[in-house]
A and B are shown apart, each in its own frame.
Chain A
Amino acid sequence: MNPPKQPPINPGDIYRTMREMLAEAPPEEAIDLAREAGMDVNQLVQQGRKAVGRALDESKQEDKAVILHKGLSSLLVMLRRRDGFDEEELARRAQVDEGEIRRIEFDANYMPAPRTIYKIEQTFSLPNGVLAKLSGAIKQNSPSMEGRVLEFAANAKTIGKLTKAERELLNAFVKFLSEQG
């Protein structure tokens, strides 16, 4: 009896097997393979290293942006509590959309427009650029920034009247931000 006939192979299967077999190569063989194929091994490894390094850096930047946004939303809530504004009142005074205020406070992926940030800073009589430093509109390279922001966000509550300690925390954080280059 003849063995069952295999279905014809397609190029996609060939490429899949090609990758599987390359991935299976023992570590000591992988470098030799590239060399024997006439590749510049150092360049190949450097390119790979650079590609992975680039992704790690980008990921760190994204983490930083998320932390800063957390600081921005916590600060906005604290400022509203200090002045007794709800979102609607703040939107009215700053002449911005109420939905935008809510998004700044709740959506970590939302990047507010520079005009909105400027208007809110004016409404709360903040030094210029204090909120912009957290919104990503002004680039921050201070190594202490993320730690301070996390510390502030961890201690910032969202409801009720500000206590004396919270007011001190808020003032210290605004001062810290205004002093950042």
Chain B
Amino acid sequence: MKLKRKPILPGPPEMDEVQGCATLNEVEDALHKLTDADYAKLMLIAGSFCRSRKFSSSVLETGDLLSEAVLKTLRMEKKWSKRVSIVKHLDKAMENISGHLADRRSKIVPFPEGSEPSPSQTPEATQPTESESNEEETSEQLLKSIFDDDEQARSVFVKRVEEVPIAVILSDLGLTEPQYETVTRRIRRKLAIFIKKSKTN
């Protein structure tokens, strides 16, 4: 029998220091210091993964995804580079985990018609991956369901998607910095509503 444990020697700590990776103690410390705001953010982010991968709650709960990301970090399977915040790191870890889960699911061969499905071949297990779901859900539909007719919020968001520098966004859309801040706050609120709506549906 093989246990799924972290390696006894995850690597010399001094090496981790050199590479800017957090030690186990630093990871634990950062996790204990998470605030309510951090938890809210992490759960919203986890919710967005479940939405984008089209995982239903019977396949993956948002809490399970976050828990797995934390566990992999504690096992040093996903090393936290201290240059980014722990929230950002867990975001990346969740992206990776949900991606693998979606890949695995896409490789399950559908059972032939008329035969009895095995437990691993239930319709739940053969849901589309993110790329497959993208074919069904176009960018236009997605943007429409997030922003409806708020053109200003949509324009700023699309420029962010296109990785346009903020200074250029301001000049292209004729916004001042405070106006930009107001719009980004409105965008975040719409994103949270979108995630909440997806969970309800």
A residues near B, CB below 8 A? 6, 8-25, 27-31, 33-34, 36-39, 41, 44-45, 47-52, 54-56, 58-59, 62, 65-66, 70, 108-111, 113, 136
Q: Are A9 and B196 in contact (CB under 8 A)?
A: no
B125 within 8 A of A: no
Closest to A38 in B: B196
Report Cα–Cα, A10/B137, bound state, in Å.
10
Per-residue A-contact encoding for B166-201, CB less than 8 Å = 1, 0 else: 000000000000000000110111011111100000
Shortest beta-carbon distance from B172 to chain A in Å: 9
8 Å CB contact of B142 from A11, A21, A22, A111? A11
Q: Which residues of chain B are within 8 angstroms of A8 by Cβ–Cβ distance?
A: 139
Chain A residues within an 8 Å CB radius of B49: 15, 19
User: Could you mark each residue 84-106 of chain B with 1 if its beta carbon is under 8 Å from any beta carbon of chain A, else 0?
Assistant: 01011001000100000000000
Closest chain A residue, CB of each to CB of B41: A30
Interface-centre pick from B44, B66, B91, B130 (highest chain A CB count, 10 A): B44
A85 to chain B, nearest CB (A): 25
Question: Which of the residues A13, A62, A70 comes within 8 Å of B75, measured between beta carbons?
Answer: A62
Closest Cβ of chain B to A65, distance in Å, is 6
Q: How far is the CB of A44 from chain B (nearest CB, A)?
A: 5
Q: Which B residues have a C-beta under 8 Å from some C-beta of A?
A: 1-3, 5-6, 8, 28, 31, 34-45, 48-49, 51-52, 62-64, 66-68, 70-71, 74-75, 85, 87-88, 91, 95, 130-131, 133-134, 137-139, 142-143, 146, 157-158, 160-162, 184-185, 187-189, 191-196
Given A11-B134, A29-B185, A55-B71, verify A65-B66 contact (CB < 8 Å): no
Residues of chain B with a CB closer than 8 A to A37's CB:
189, 192-193, 195-196
Q: Is the CB of A22 within 8 A of B139?
A: no
Chain B hits for A54, CB < 8 A: 63, 67
**Contact partner, A18, options B2, B71, B191, Cβ 8 Å:** B191
A33 touches B189 (CB 8 A): yes
**CA of A72 to CA of B138, assembled, Å:** 57
When distances are taken between beta carbons in the complex, the residues of chain B under 8 Å from A34 are 40, 43-44, 192
CA distance A31 to B191 in the complex (A): 14
Taken together as a complex, chains A and B put the C-alpha atoms of A56 and B51 apart, in Å, by 26
- Asked if residues A21 and B40 are in contact (CB atoms below 8 Å), the reply is no
Select one of B39, B45, B52 contacting A45, CB under 8 A: B39
**With known contacts A51-B67, A62-B6, A11–B161 Cβ distance under 8 A:** no
**In the complex, are the beta carbons of B3 and A111 less than 8 A apart?**
yes
Beta-carbon contact of A110 and B2 below 8 Å: yes
A22 touches B5 (CB 8 A): no
A sample of 7 inter-chain contacts (CB < 8 A) reads A9-B158, A19-B95, A22-B41, A29-B185, A37-B195, A56-B31, A110-B3
Query: In the complex, which of the residues B49, B67, B187 has the most CB atoms of chain A within 10 Å of its own CB atom?
Result: B67
Min CB–CB distance A16 → chain B (angstroms): 8
- CA of A55 to CA of B70, assembled, Å: 6
